Chains A and B, each alone.
Chain A
Amino acid sequence: MSVVQAVVQNSPPLLEMRGISKSFPGVQALDSVDVALFPGTVTALIGENGAGKSTLVKILTGIYQHDSGAIIIDGAPVHFTSAEAAIRSGITAIHQETVLFDELSVAENIFLGHAPRNRLGLVNWSAMNARAAALLTSIDAPISPYMRLKDLSIAQRHLVAIARALSVEARVVIMDEPTAALSYKEVEDLFRIIERLKRQGKAILFISHKFEEVYQIAERFVVLRDGRSIGAGLLAKTGQDEIVRMMVGRSVDHVFPKLDVAIGNTVLKVSGYSHPTEFDNISFELRRGEILGLYGLVGAGRSEFCQSLFGITRPSAGSLELEGRSVEIRSPADAIGAGIVYVPEERGRHGAVLQMPIFQNFTMATLGRTTRAGFLREAEEFALARRYAERLDLRAAALSVPVGTLSGGNQQKVVIGKWLATRPKVIILDEPTKGIDIGSKAAVHAFMSELAGEGLSVIMVSSELPEILGMSDRVLVMREGRMAGIWNREGLDAETLVRAATGNQ
């Protein structure tokens, strides 16, 4: 440890980002950000969802080009025009989303783009398979290099992604939330790998939400908030409270307003819901005015389960009772008819039709109400859209502009508004505040309480512990597709939930 400390203080940075800015249409994702990485040191990059961490990673790995600022390696400025250029400069990354090839073998997934070649310049498959097997063994991943990726589980894919990042001779290793989908034991394995990389003198950028992890593995930190670097320094000299303050910019207890709501009778009863590969034997009851938190690691099967409640996929076993009557849901139309609606996690892909006008998105699930004999009546569509736009305090230039021109938070309001217009009994919100700014986040939370207060039953999927703890009346934890338990709000602490979600008994 003292050796590391010495390194931290004496050596110049291996890589420096100075004044990096990057904007997307309508979003300033990064605004003059400074980050320095030192050899043999783990630097933690901390920030809320949407703070710009992944964007920073993508700039460092040549996937995005920054608008202004400089990247300096060993004192010399570099400019990456492609992912390949970044790899050649010795930068490798495990990206947040596993970007791999389903149809290719594990070995090729690890070595694509830098496969070992023979004297003729041809890909040397046997060397590639052998090296892949060695790499996988070195990270304790019992996966055959010959398997096709699509036959692997989510956790196994993460291990392949880690092996891929380690397959190049890199001096800088970036890990973007690598632990989000890993169980307790796998996280321990990962930390052992990080320690080894540290000893080899690599500079590591480690991104995570989880403070215990950060304090356990990292020496330095940089905090990002709304695309700006707010603070940086040594973790040993900085308390957790201070970092939280930097992250959020205000004290945390204001973010999650949970109103007290009278809990009524059982509305929804789920018994033994199962699917051949995604989830197994999920049972619970949901009452009027209740918010049920659904917690788990990324990829624990929460979204898959919710989508089957909504009729997207069919369960292989199990039954559903709504207000005491048994219902069978075979399609989203069935679910909507029964009063169950679902606000999906991927807003742009599943939630809103970004290219279509706001008012048409609002009325999409209730076209029967704004039409006569199948013919559209625009005036009524606008009236319905206006009602929910005002109720949700939507910020938009006009109701006829495409939803894609709105900010993430306002897009979310359109999706929620679309469902409220159907007058549902149960609303399922899948990561409702993912990727939206703090202001809108508070508004969404307030609104959820308000809905519960009006007698709606809410299922909220979230991977953020404070959100789960702050909002839920009860919390159901899923681990690898199975129920790990269900807890009441009283006396519930974060540790219990994390234990249940990661399987660390």
Chain B
Amino acid sequence: MSRILKYRELLLVAIILVLIAAFSARAPGFASPKSLANIFNDTSILIILALGQMAVILTKSIDLSVAANLSFTGMAVAMLNSAYPEVPLPLLIAAALGIGAGLGAINGFMVWRIGIPAIVATLGTLTIYRGMAFVLSGGAWVNQTQMTPAFLNTPRLPVLGLPLLGWTALLVIAIIATVFTRTVFGRSLYAAGGNPTAALYAGVDVGRAKFFAFMLSGALAGLCGYLWVSRYAVAYVDIAAGFELDTVAACVIGGISTLGGIGSVGGAVLGALFLGVIKNALPVINVSPFWQMAISGLVIIIAVLFNARQERRKGRLILRDAAKSRPVRMETPVEGAAA
């Protein structure tokens, strides 16, 4: 869409490649195709969640309830599976998407119809949804032995060297990229967050765009509920605790502006991959996993600083030659460059 965003993505790709190169110098197997596929697979859930979060952030909101939604939905489908093993998997996945979308819609409704600031609404539902997971399960775990093999193994099925979980992420990336760049809904997310007044003038319903962004984020969180439970083969109340922050981090690192209206799917995916590479590298280079939280915190701050430099409003550009001399490459060559 724009050169600066592409520039940001290239930068991220370069950083990720450098990281991989550096880590593989310490641990030779790190850059092998198998290991890389493994890292991607391991980051799949974060990628999917980050794309949902991105939809919300584009509209100038934030969804802090994604991890709680994931926990509740994961618990719900795990209990469904253990109670009714005969229910086919596609139906369970549909249920996960549906429950997640429903919880997301509750957030969206509060923001759209009541006008509660998104951060407060989702801070509230963050505790409520996780509390509901506790009420639903009575605090009990759903273990590997209680779930059906199909439920557990399908996402792990390797196809062309990548498990289905990773393919799911690729599919979600493709769908979301199409939705964001090529559909009316997707563009309305950018419009609603970029300039709500102008959006109103252009016939975009800002509140509705937010509602559907929350619903999308919720649906993807629900899907991840299933993916998470099957990946780790256990469901309990505290799964993915604090993971909402990682999704925000992935977006911020990927250049999605928390002021709304700026960001690309590629950025969010790369932001998630960046975190994924670091997470997978720490044990390889013998750093305690306890470092991870501080590192992602630091990276968030650096990324926000970096974003702010790009987003800085340039004023009104009243002087004509000031507008012309901006470092923007035009299609036409600059004349009289020597002058």
Contacts and interface: CB of A to CB of B under 8 A. Distances in A.
Given A153-B317, A154-B317, A301-B318, A103 B261 contact: yes
B181 A123 contact: yes
B7 to A, nearest CB: 13
B201 A480 contact: no
A105 B204 CA distance: 17
A99 B201 contact: yes
Interface in B298-330: 313-320, 322-323, 326, 328, 330
Interface string A132-157: 00000000000010111011111110
Contact of B203 (A84, A100, A155, A299): A84
Most chain B beta-carbon contacts within 10 A, residue among A112, A123, A279: A112
Contacts of A151: 314, 317, 323, 326, 328
Size band of the A side of the interface?
Answer: 35 or more
B190 A122 contact: no
A123 B323 contact: no
Interface residues of B, number: 39
A101 B315 contact: no
A121 interface: yes
A61 interface: yes
Contacts of B262: 103
Nearest to A87: B203
Contacts of A154: 316-318
A104 to B, nearest CB: 6
Contacts of B316: 154, 277-278, 299, 301, 304
Nearest to B193: A103
A300 interface: yes
Interface in B168-212: 178, 181-184, 187, 190-191, 194-195, 197-205
Nearest to A100: B198
Most chain A beta-carbon contacts within 10 A, residue among B178, B318, B331: B318
Contacts of B200: 63, 83
Contacts, number: 127
B331 A123 contact: no
A275 to B, nearest CB: 8
B2 interface: yes
A359 B195 CA distance: 34
Interface in B138-170: none
Contacts of A102: 194-195, 313
A288 interface: no
A280 interface: yes
Given A153-B320, A280-B319, A123 B198 contact: no
A481 B318 contact: yes
Contacts of A152: 317, 323
Given A103-B262, A105-B1, A105-B2, A112 B187 contact: yes
Contact of A83 (B182, B203, B313): B203
Contacts of B315: 277-278, 304
Nearest to A145: B331
Contacts of B197: 99
Nearest to A153: B323
A5 to B, nearest CB: 35
A304 B322 CA distance: 15
Interface in B229-271: 261-262
B330 A147 contact: yes
Interface in A125-180: 125, 144, 146-148, 150-156
Contacts of B198: 99-101
A474 interface: no
A95 interface: yes
Contacts of A304: 315-316, 318
A115 B184 contact: yes
A381 interface: no
Contacts of B183: 121-123
Contacts of A100: 195, 198
Give the 4 A-B residue pairs with the shortest CB-CB distance, closest first: A84-B203, A153-B323, A83-B203, A99-B198
Given A99-B197, A278-B315, 15 more contacts: A99-B195, A100-B198, A101-B191, A101-B199, A105-B1, A112-B204, A113-B191, A113-B202, A113-B204, A123-B182, A125-B182, A151-B326, A153-B318, A277-B316, A480-B318
8 contacts: A83-B203, A99-B195, A100-B198, A113-B202, A151-B328, A153-B323, A277-B323, A481-B319
Interface of A: 61-63, 82-87, 95, 99-105, 108, 112-113, 115, 121-123, 125, 144, 146-148, 150-156, 276-280, 299-301, 304, 480-482
